[in-house]
Amino acid sequence: MTIRLLPQNLINQIAAGEVVERPASAVKELVENAIDAQATQIDIRLADGGRTYFSVSDNGKGMSREELILAVERHATSKLPTEDLFNIHFLGFRGEALPSIASVSHFSLTSRPKGASEAWQIKVDAGEKHAPTPTPAGFGTTVEVRDLFYATPARLKFMKTTQTEQNYIKDIVNRLAMAYPNIGFSLADDKRQLLSYPPASSLLERISLVIGKNFKENAIPVQASYEDIHLTGFVGLPTYTRATSAEQYLFVNGRFIRDKMLSGAIRGAFQGLIDHDSHPVLALFLQIPNTEVDVNVHPAKIEVRFQNSGRIRGMLVASLRHALAENGHRTSSTISIGALDKAVPHFIPERQAKRANPTLTGNMQPAFSLQDSFSVRATPERTETSALTDETPLPPPLGFAKAQLHQTYIISQTPDSIIITDQHAAHERLTYERLMAQITTHMETQLLLIPEVMDLTPDEVDLLNARKNELQTLGWVIDAFGTDCVAIREIPALLDKTDIKKTIQDLVDTLKTFDDTILLKDKMKDICAKMACHGSIRAGRVLTLEEMNALLRQMETCNTSGQCIHGRPTYIELKKSDIERLFGRIK
């Protein structure tokens, strides 16, 4: 085997494989160049999700004829005035983006510096450079890319659908728009305007445009400084969460990053405040000296390495906890009595459940729901005059309801214990099991007399519309109502109508995490879990004794009722002997 130097064009194509993974990667590099050029308006146009065409135009500083020639050469950059790779003040600095893109496409670069009398354009076809020519154009720079990867067609096999590639580009623009609120951004395809962000008057205004208008009403400011490190941004209230972490935006020195250490710090800061399967919504911006962070560890520059990661993590956790505490959202961290150490989840064998309530058969699906009006009757308590025969039903395993505490917990009594049941967690489990059962048979639906109209982003409306038929199999009939609203016309009969919008938002958040080739049936458990959570009776709902007993009886027929769908116990049992020991009656 003979060692040889690779030709320059092949070197550029290899670099393109690292830097330009898909159209969105190329758009990111070009928009970052526009930001570095001090643009105040950046416009992106695309066709076919960017595969056949995209352009990025800006009103920045522009380039001269001589600079255009250098710009398409590999490792030519104006962003490293010194040879210090650890003191970088620009988003782009490697000088790989333009020649890499140009090596695998039909590429043109048009620019006119402010004050210049004419613009110049240079074209590159699959790495073959043409001489610059004068052309009419305004001040600033426009890059046009046609037929990306035509010179390396094998990469086209790895592209997703047009909609998916377009969504990747929208994600890129959203992140950069959030980091630079003083810059106007627009994104359009050949049919419509996809995004439009005028220069914002404040950071919160821009963040709310990207995340959603409700964020502004639920946002808590975060601000902290430690020596020469500064943290700013906004975090949503603990009651304002999403089903995934997709709405968590972290920026370091103006770059959107993904970092497991920082993500873990966020989870730690919210520990005890939100459910373990909920995720806070936030946008946080960390300013740190360039010498203390290495942004040169990944071609896409989405990963960084901190010189002192422990200090960054500690600062993030402390500032988030302080912001939450300042707004009155504190956690309860102690348990006041030792008796709860004796509280354990209680498993009910199916045979015992049948003996306790002979009217319930083992193959009966859980039927407890608000719409059923609690049709399952409580088993009457035995009296001292009851006939003591083998046919006499035993006391039900979960006892008989005696009271409801804090409109959340059902207190029931058995001959030798007290049982405390979380009404929402219990009903959530039953709803989930029945939803899963109906998936394989027929989903019972309920027509809403007045459709529920819900505001969403245009992207979310498109997402629901694309899954319309699949959602109908889950009992949801949802129609687009304009570009940023949907009308919910039918819902699963099992669900509580009071929380329709929250359920739909969770459905949308879950769908965002799916690849467009994945069917809902492949993620049915996840979908039904979200529906059950927000379709069950909530804490704070007053229940009658009959309703409480009906819920307990239904739990006794469900083999998985000992824990909710999130893995937490639905009820705990305090033995009478444990309570007597607490009061010193026995030792």
Lowest-pLDDT range of 249-258, 376-385, 509-518: 376-385
pLDDT reported for residue 585: 80
> Tokens 């089903």 label which residue?
243
Give 318's DSSP letter.
H
The amino acid at 329: H
Residue 301's region, left for phi above 0, alpha for psi from -120 to 50, else beta, is: left
Cβ distance 116 to 137 under 8 Å?
no
Lowest-pLDDT range of 117-131, 185-199, 322-336, 360-374: 360-374
Residue 228 in this model has a pLDDT that exceeds 80? yes
Cβ distance 310 to 292 under 8 Å?
no
Quote the tokens at residue 449: 């007399």
Q: What is the mean pLDDT of residues 552-567?
A: 81
Q: Let me know if 420 is exposed, middle or buried by CB neighbors in 10 A (0-12, 13-18, 19+).
A: middle
Q: Please tell me the distance from the alpha carbon of residue 100 to that of residue 12, in angstroms, as a whole number.
A: 5
405 compared with 352, residue with greater pLDDT: 405
> Tokens 């590999």 label which residue?
74
Instruction: List the beta bridge partners of residue 410.
Output: 404, 421
Residue 293 in this model has a pLDDT that exceeds 70? yes
Residue 3 in this model has a pLDDT that exceeds 70? yes
Confidence of residue 459 (pLDDT cuts 50, 70, 90): confident
pLDDT reported for residue 35: 93
pLDDT reported for residue 199: 96
**CB crowding 49-73: b at 16 or more within 10 Å, else e:** bbbbbbbbbbbbbbbebebbbebbe
SS3 555: helix
Confidence of residue 17 (pLDDT cuts 50, 70, 90): low
Give 129's DSSP letter.
E
Interval 519-531: pLDDT, tens: 777 677 777 887 8
Cβ distance 220 to 236 under 8 Å?
yes
Interval 42-73: pLDDT, tens: 999 999 999 999 999 999 999 999 988 888 88
The angle formed by the CA atoms of residues 188, 190 and 194, to the nearest 5 degrees, is 25
Quote the tokens at residue 295: 């942004």
Residue 236 in this model has a pLDDT that exceeds 60? yes
pLDDT reported for residue 564: 77
DSSP states along 211-264: H-THHHHTEEEEEEEETTEEEEEEEE-TTSEESSSTTEEEEETTEE---HHHHH
pLDDT reported for residue 309: 80
Residue 362 in this model has a pLDDT that exceeds 50? no
Residue 404 in this model has a pLDDT that exceeds 50? yes
Cβ distance 108 to 122 under 8 Å?
yes
pLDDT reported for residue 249: 95
238 compared with 225, residue with greater pLDDT: 225
Nearest to 379 by CA among 351, 365, 359: 359
Quote the tokens at residue 14: 């290899």
Cβ distance 356 to 379 under 8 Å?
yes
SS3 300: coil
pLDDT reported for residue 579: 82
SS3 402: strand
Quote the tokens at residue 99: 């020649």
Interval 167-191: pLDDT, tens: 999 999 999 999 999 999 999 998 8
pLDDT reported for residue 167: 92
DSSP states along 507-544: HHHHHHTS-TT--GGGGHHHHHHHHHHHTSPPTT----
The percentage of the chain sitting over the pLDDT mark of 70, rounded to a whole number, equals 79
Interval 95-118: pLDDT, tens: 577 888 888 899 999 999 988 999
SS3 157: helix
Residue 505 in this model has a pLDDT that exceeds 50? yes
Confidence of residue 89 (pLDDT cuts 50, 70, 90): low
> Tokens 């979960």 label which residue?
398
Q: Please tell me the distance from the alpha carbon of residue 148 to that of residue 55, in angstroms, as a whole number.
A: 12
pLDDT reported for residue 368: 41
Nearest to 423 by CA among 578, 544, 276: 544
Residue 263 in this model has a pLDDT that exceeds 50? yes
pLDDT reported for residue 296: 61
Q: Number of C-alpha atoms within 13 angstroms, CB side, residue 499?
A: 18
**What is the overall mean pLDDT for the chain?**
80
Q: Please tell me the distance from the alpha carbon of residue 237 to that of residue 129, in angstroms, as a whole number.
A: 54
Q: Please tell me the distance from the alpha carbon of residue 129 to that of residue 132, in angstroms, as a whole number.
A: 9
Q: What is the mean pLDDT of residues 25-48?
A: 93
Q: Please tell me the distance from the alpha carbon of residue 542 to that of residue 520, in angstroms, as a whole number.
A: 35
> Tokens 């942004």 label which residue?
295
pLDDT reported for residue 341: 46
**CB crowding 159-185: b at 16 or more within 10 Å, else e:** bbebeebbbbbbebbbbbbbbbbebbb
Quote the tokens at residue 569: 């116990």
Q: Let me know if 7 is exposed, middle or buried by CB neighbors in 10 A (0-12, 13-18, 19+).
A: exposed
Lowest-pLDDT range of 54-63, 74-83, 390-399: 74-83
